[in-house]
Amino acid sequence: TALPPIRSVAQPRFFGAALNSTFLFNDPIYTKLAETQFSIFTPENEMKWEVIHPFPNVYNFTPADELVKFSHTVNARMRGHNFVWGSQLAPWVNDSLTATEMDIILKEHITTIMDHYKKDNIYAWDIVNEIVSDTLNVSTFKQILWTQKLGEEVVAKAFTYARAANPSVKLYINDYSIEGLGPKSDALFGIVQGMMKDKIPIDGVGFQCHFGLGQVPATLQQNLQRFADLGLDVAITELDINTGSTSPTDAMFAQQAQDYLSVVSACAAVKRCVSVTTWGIMDNHSWIVGKDVLPWTGTGEAKPAATAIVQAF
Ligand code: XIL
């Protein structure tokens, strides 16, 4: 029996996907699923620095504009993604720049892009992505060009520039391995508490949720709730469940469904959890190649994972 459109059953929450301009309008099955199942989209790569701002004073808005335009036609919103990140930065933004130059460039970048999309249906922006260190004994913040040049102040700067550009869009910090309670989540919690104490304009925390089979932290809901209790929104921003196999068994797909159910249930149990976004739509177009990580097969059939998502909302 056919599943109801997940965007309907997810209400009042958003159900989202990372959307990729390579496949939209080229794969009709993908396009149809995008049209019918989702109420919010994140550009998979199209708003990243190397794509949208490849050279000084050169902005390439075309691929992102296409996705934003599509979202309007299907009555969906967008999550902008992202500004401060250690990956997919344009080569011209490099160590030869001074701290002062980096600060000016960051402000100009955030302001220009947020202005460009100001009248569009952007619900939220990931302002800072993956900033928490994986080696907390060395430092709380990841060593990336931005933190090396501007220090941890880059976070306050980026959020402040973003709020000045758009007073009403939701501003998020987004990260991985912070989904369950633990040292890295505690570090993020401390960063966010510090921002709120300093009146840095932050609205929400994004939990990526790239998990392996059976690896959903048991404390996910509790962890979402403690951030929500600070007065912030929370969101599942990049969900996928890696089967770890190039020819997964039915038992693996059943476990995958269970894992999707756990994540979506955790969000659905937290009042301030506003959205669940999967990092892609169909297995054949995922960034994790050949491991069947998503709720729809490469021919567009709903997997047990899709049924589980419907149940969990
Ligand atoms: C990934 C994209 O899916 C790939 O197409 C790209 O080659 C690399 O980036 N965390 C993030 C996302 O915040 O932006 C990443 O997206 C996946 C991990």
Among the listed residues 66, 108, 238, 301, the single catalytic one is 238
Q: Which ligand 1 atom is the nearest neighbour of the CA of 129? A: 13
**Top-tier CATH class for 6-312:** alpha beta
Q: What are the tokens at 54?
A: 């490849």
Structure confidence at residue 290 (pLDDT): 98
> ipTM above 0.95?
yes
Q: How far is CA 247 from CA 101, 119, 230, 279, 289, in A?
A: 50, 45, 43, 20, 12
What lies within 8 Å, CB to CB, of 198 at 6+ separation is 156
Q: Over 80: is that where the pLDDT of 1 sits? A: no
Residue 199 Cα to ligand 1 midpoint, Å, equals 30
pTM higher than 0.95 for the full model?
Answer: yes
Average pLDDT over the chain, rounded to whole?
Answer: 98
Residue 44 Cα to ligand 1 midpoint, Å, equals 6
Identity of residue 125: W
For the chain, what are the domain ranges? Answer: 6-312
Residue 81 Cα to ligand 1 midpoint, Å, equals 10
Q: What are the tokens at 301?
A: 């059939």
Ramachandran area for residue 91 (φ above 0: left; ψ -120 to 50: alpha; else beta)? alpha
Q: Over 70: is that where the pLDDT of 125 sits? A: yes
Structure confidence at residue 223 (pLDDT): 99
Ramachandran area for residue 108 (φ above 0: left; ψ -120 to 50: alpha; else beta)? alpha
